[in-house]
Amino acid sequence: MSVFLAHGYFLHEDEKEQKIMRPYPPLGLLYISAWLKQHEIKHEVFDSTFSNKVSIKKRLLETVPKVIALYTNLMTKVNIVELMQFIRSKKEFKDSWIVLGGPDVRYNAANYLNHGADVLVVGEGEATMLELAKTMLAIDKPNFAHIDGIAYLNEEGEVVETAPRKRIRPIDSLPYPNREGINIKAYLGVWKLYHGHSAMTVSTQRGCPYTCKWCSTAVYGQSYRRRSPAIVAEELLYIKETFNPDTVWFVDDVFTVSHNWLKAFAEEVNARGAVIPFECITRADRMNEDVIQMLKEAGCFRVWIGSESGSQKIIDAMDRRVDVQHVRNMIRRSREEGLEAGTFIMLGYPGETEEDIEETITHLKESNPDQFTITVAYPIKGTGLYEEIDDIRTTTPDWGISTDRDIDFQRTYPKPYYKFAVNRVVNEVNLYKKQLNKEQWTVEGVKMWAKVSSAKLGMWWHRRGVDA
């Protein structure tokens, strides 16, 4: 065994995901695998999603790979640290190298290196991982100074960061993700079992040109690189003929950022018979009547339009650069034109008051999306939000056994307030939907009314000291 690729996410540990059961393959890792495969580097992908820690450790001991390359992010960091500790404790791996990549390494380099990693891949990973693999497989004690896009410890224990890796251009040169390297049928089967339809993921772009303060651009940067419409259509046709999923989720940050690209994409998938029903994420300022029609022509059945808040004050504080009323209009217009519309909401952003939360509830009622999700704001290292709250932190958890989600800061109201706030928003908006359908006095509707009342009481209780 030459190179071992893994990611450390275990579905059975994720209580929230077990409730919704919408797992997706590790697309970034599969791109790395495809790049190594194209350059004839022998490797294995261990997809941990449906596995467990015992199995991954057992497989490592069976194969004793020379290079152990692990993807790490906010969700998997604690597992990756634990796995590195296991590797370092076994004599079998005394000649093995641990390489980490992913969005979490850029701003946590010293911590990861001091917890067992030999080298970090900072930023886009394909070319860097290939060069590292060739170097590590050829020489027992290689020097890494000539490799761009990495970080490591020198002999004095200091972090050394080499020159940034040049981004791959054009990204049409990327091979399709190596989906054959894992058990894709397991993902398709879970989706079919729990939702009645199967789903797969596709990426068409890298980077995001926008500046939202809470969002991390640690891997691809604040950039915009797009695969050509023809290449994406070819991949969809290949997916359709090989795996035949019922739907596709485009993982791009802003799918409709280029209207010219979208128009060409709609033409290509229709000309090639490559249409697969899909959903995507975008911004309201990159939506209009023409875009809605192009999405429909390309096969879109659901578009997620970011809201984050119904308060323009909070939107501006996030540097979202969108108009709240336009967001509402685009959600409504998408639904009127036959698309499902979803949106994302964030509560607890610095400076947000209960009046802002009221505006968010009004926003959701007036826009009436088919689906919405709510997150309580948390600071990811390297983002503008993280820098802003640095002086008002209320917790500094142990890095090795925590994630950025465990970092808290002084918000307008005490932390318990936001649990009630989330419950209120969810139930009040869903109760409003019941009222529109004249179903508010059903058993379910009455339960929602009771939950709204309870949540309002909890919010009042936890804001008493602030109001005083």
Q: Supply the pLDDT for residue 1.
A: 65
Rounded-to-integer distance, Cα 457 and Cα 21, Å: 32
Rounded-to-integer distance, Cα 205 and Cα 232, Å: 10
- The amino acid occupying position 334 is S
Q: Name the residue among 281, 333, 286, 322 with its Cα closest to residue 302.
A: 281
Does residue 266 or residue 139 have the better pLDDT?
Answer: 266
Query: Where are the domains positioned within the chain?
Result: 3-161, 197-377, 413-468
Contact between 280 and 252 (Cβ < 8 Å): yes
Task: Check pLDDT > 60 for residue 468.
Answer: no
467: confidence class by pLDDT, cuts 50, 70, 90: low
Mean pLDDT of the chain: 96
Task: Check pLDDT > 80 for residue 454.
Answer: yes
Q: Name the residue among 224, 281, 219 with its Cα closest to residue 256.
A: 281
DSSP string, 328-364: HHHHHHHHHTT-EEEEEEEE--TT--HHHHHHHHHHH
Q: Find the mean pLDDT for residues 65-88.
A: 97
3-161: CATH topology: Rossmann fold (3.40.50)
Q: Supply the pLDDT for residue 196.
A: 97
Strand partners of residue 68: 4, 98
80: confidence class by pLDDT, cuts 50, 70, 90: very high
Rounded-to-integer distance, Cα 257 and Cα 287, Å: 9
Contact between 247 and 277 (Cβ < 8 Å): yes
260 Cβ contact list (under 8 Å, min separation 6): none
Q: Find the mean pLDDT for residues 278-307.
A: 98
453 Cβ contact list (under 8 Å, min separation 6): none
Q: Find the mean pLDDT for residues 29-36.
A: 98
Contact between 209 and 321 (Cβ < 8 Å): no
Q: Find the mean pLDDT for residues 241-261.
A: 98
Q: Find the mean pLDDT for residues 116-135.
A: 97
Task: Check pLDDT > 70 for residue 308.
Answer: yes
466: confidence class by pLDDT, cuts 50, 70, 90: confident
Rounded-to-integer distance, Cα 31 and Cα 129, Å: 11
Task: Check pLDDT > 70 for residue 327.
Answer: yes
85 Cβ contact list (under 8 Å, min separation 6): 115, 116
Longest dimension (CA), the chain: 72
* CATH classification code of 197-377: 3.80.30.20
Does residue 464 or residue 191 have the better pLDDT?
Answer: 191
- The amino acid occupying position 55 is S
Task: Check pLDDT > 70 for residue 67.
Answer: yes
pLDDT digits (tens, 9 = 90+) for 332-376: 999 999 999 999 999 999 999 999 999 999 999 999 999 999 999
- Structure token pair of residue 165: 């890796």
By percentage, how much of the chain surpasses pLDDT 90? 95
Task: Check pLDDT > 80 for residue 48.
Answer: yes
Q: Find the mean pLDDT for residues 285-299.
A: 98
Contact between 427 and 455 (Cβ < 8 Å): yes
Contact between 418 and 351 (Cβ < 8 Å): no
- The amino acid occupying position 195 is H
Q: Find the mean pLDDT for residues 241-253.
A: 97
Q: Supply the pLDDT for residue 465.
A: 73
By percentage, how much of the chain surpasses pLDDT 70? 99
153-179: b (≥16 Cβ within 10 Å) or e: beeeeeeeebeebebeeebeebebbbb
Q: Supply the pLDDT for residue 82.
A: 98
330: confidence class by pLDDT, cuts 50, 70, 90: very high
Antiparallel, parallel or unpaired: β 371-376 and 340-347: parallel
Contact between 247 and 279 (Cβ < 8 Å): yes
Q: How many helices (H) and strands (E) does the chain have?
A: 16, 15
How long is the chain?
A: 468
Q: Supply the pLDDT for residue 221.
A: 87
440: confidence class by pLDDT, cuts 50, 70, 90: confident
